[in-house]
C-alpha cells in the first residue's frame, strides 16, 4: 500500500540550520499542481491492506525527475537525496525520514512506465493553462539514439536489447532507437513524443506528433509525401512540410525559397535535441528494451518542459 505525504515538519528540521535553497527546484514545486498527478499514479497502488506503507507516489516521481536533471543512477539518487537538503525539501522528506532506497526508485519507475505518456500530457495541460503553450505551430522531427548495449554484428540483433534495430543516416550506421518529438513553435515546449526502433521511418509517427490545435505544422523533407500534406489540409492546419526534390523532378526556385524559409523555422527543434543529448546525455539509451526506454524519453520530456517553463516565467 501507499502512504500519503507527510506535511508536518520533523523535530530534526525544526532545530536544523537553514540550508542553501535551490531556486530552480522551488520554482518547479510552485509551478506544478501535483494533486492530479498523485491521483493518477496512486491508481496503481493499494491505499490499504497489509504490508509496510510505501513512499508517497509524488515523492518517488520527484526522485525520478531529480535523477534525470542531475544524471544520477538509482544508487546515486538515493545517496544524493540522503545528503542534500534541497533535494529533501523538493521531495517533502523530513531530515529524520529515510530516503527512498535505489530498489524502491527502480520499482516505482517500472510501475509508472505505462502512464508516463499520460503524465507528460497532464503536465503539458497545466503549462497550457498558464498560457505558456503558444499553439502557433508544431515542429516535428526525429533523432537516432544508440542502444545501451554493445553493438552486435551489422544486420544482427542484440540479446541485451532485442527491441533495438539498425538504421543508416548519412552513410553512418546506428543501432538503437529513434526518438520522435513535436515541439511548440515559440515556447519550444515538447508537446508530443514517442520512441520506436531505429528502423521505423520518421513519417510513421507523424500524425501522432500533431496535437490538433496548432495553426501550422513544420517538418523537414523526410516527411514529404505519403498524403501528409493532404491530411493536414483536411484538418485546417497549415502545411509546413519541406518539398523533396529528385533527379527526375528538381525543385523549382520558388520551392527552394520556400524550403529555405521553412528550414529557419524548424531549426528550433535542433536546439531541443541538442539540449537532450548534451545536458541530459541522451546520445545513448539508459536501459535495455523499448518499454523502459520509451518511459525514459517521456521522463526526459517532462524534465525539459518543467525547466523550460520556469525560464519562460522568468525564473
pLDDT tens for each residue of 86-124: 999 999 999 888 999 999 999 999 999 999 999 999 999
User: pTM for this one?
Assistant: 0.91
The model's confidence at residue 47, banded by pLDDT at 50, 70 and 90, is low
Who has greater pLDDT, 67 or 11? Answer: 67
Q: First and final CA of the chain: distance in angstroms?
A: 37
Distance, in Å, from the CA atom of 267 to the CA atom of 261, rounded to the nearest integer, reads: 10
At 154 the pLDDT is: 84
At 261 the pLDDT is: 97
SS3 234: helix
The model's confidence at residue 226, banded by pLDDT at 50, 70 and 90, is confident
Distances (CA, A) of 147 to 101, 107, 164, 175: 27, 22, 7, 6
Cell of 314: 522568468
Contacts of 10 (CB under 8 A, 6+ apart): 94, 95, 96, 97
At 16 the pLDDT is: 43
Reference 301, options 274, 271, 276, 270; nearest CA is 276
At 22 the pLDDT is: 84
At 49 the pLDDT is: 54
Mean pLDDT across the chain: 90
Distance, in Å, from the CA atom of 78 to the CA atom of 75, rounded to the nearest integer, reads: 5
For residue 315, pLDDT over 90 is answered with no
Percent of the chain with pLDDT over 90: 79
Distances (CA, A) of 224 to 149, 169, 179, 211, 257: 33, 17, 19, 19, 16
Reference 199, options 172, 165, 173, 174; nearest CA is 165
Cell of 224: 514529404
Reference 315, options 136, 72, 58, 130; nearest CA is 130
At 132 the pLDDT is: 97
pLDDT tens for each residue of 143-201: 999 999 889 988 888 989 999 999 988 888 999 999 999 999 999 999 999 999 999 99
pLDDT tens for each residue of 248-285: 889 999 999 999 999 999 999 999 999 999 999 999 99
Structural domains of the chain, ranges and CATH numbers in brackets: 11-111 (no CATH), 133-288 (3.30.420)
Contacts of 176 (CB under 8 A, 6+ apart): 144, 145, 146, 147, 161, 164, 165, 198, 284, 285
Amino acid at each position: 500500500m501507499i502512504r500519503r505525504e507527510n506535511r508536518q515538519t520533523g523535530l530534526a528540521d525544526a532545530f536544523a540550520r537553514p540550508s542553501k535553497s535551490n531556486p530552480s527546484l522551488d520554482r518547479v514545486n510552485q509551478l506544478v499542481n501535483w494533486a492530479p498527478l498523485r491521483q493518477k499514479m496512486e491508481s496503481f497502488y493499494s491505499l490499504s491492506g497489509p504490508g509496510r506503507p510505501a513512499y508517497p507516489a509524488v515523492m518517488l516521481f520527484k526522485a525520478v525527475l531529480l535523477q534525470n536533471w542531475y544524471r544520477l543512477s538509482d544508487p546515486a539518487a538515493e545517496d544524493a537525496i540522503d545528503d542534500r537538503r534541497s533535494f529533501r525539501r523538493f521531495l517533502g522528506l523530513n531530515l529524520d525520514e529515510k530516503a527512498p532506497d535505489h530498489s524502491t526508485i527502480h520499482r516505482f519507475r517500472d510501475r509508472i512506465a505505462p502512464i508516463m505518456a499520460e503524465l507528460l500530457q497532464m503536465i503539458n495541460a497545466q503549462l497550457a493553462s498558464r498560457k505558456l503553450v503558444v499553439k502557433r505551430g508544431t515542429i516535428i522531427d526525429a533523432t537516432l539514439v544508440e542502444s545501451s548495449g554493445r553493438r552486435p554484428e551489422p544486420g544482427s540483433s542484440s540479446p541485451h536489447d532485442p527491441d533495438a534495430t539498425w538504421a543508416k543516416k548519412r552513410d553512418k550506421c546506428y543501432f538503437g532507437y529513434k526518438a520522435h518529438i513535436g515541439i511548440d513553435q515559440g515556447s519550444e515546449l515538447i508537446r508530443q513524443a514517442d520512441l520506436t526502433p531505429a528502423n521505423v521511418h520518421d513519417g510513421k509517427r507523424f500524425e501522432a506528433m500533431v496535437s490538433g490545435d496548432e495553426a501550422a505544422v513544420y517538418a523537414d523533407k523526410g516527411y514529404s509525401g505519403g498524403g501528409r500534406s493532404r491530411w493536414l489540409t483536411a484538418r485546417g492546419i497549415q502545411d509546413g512540410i519541406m518539398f523533396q526534390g529528385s533527379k527526375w523532378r528538381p525543385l523549382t526556385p520558388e520551392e527552394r525559397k520556400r524550403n529555405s524559409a521553412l528550414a529557419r523555422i524548424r531549426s528550433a527543434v535542433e536546439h531541443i535535441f541538442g539540449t537532450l543529448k548534451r545536458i541530459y546525455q541522451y546520445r545513448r539509451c539508459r536501459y535495455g528494451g523499448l518499454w523502459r526506454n520509451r518511459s525514459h524519453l517521456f521522463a526526459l520530456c517532462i524534465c525539459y518542459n518543467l525547466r523550460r517553463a520556469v525560464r519562460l516565467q522568468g525564473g
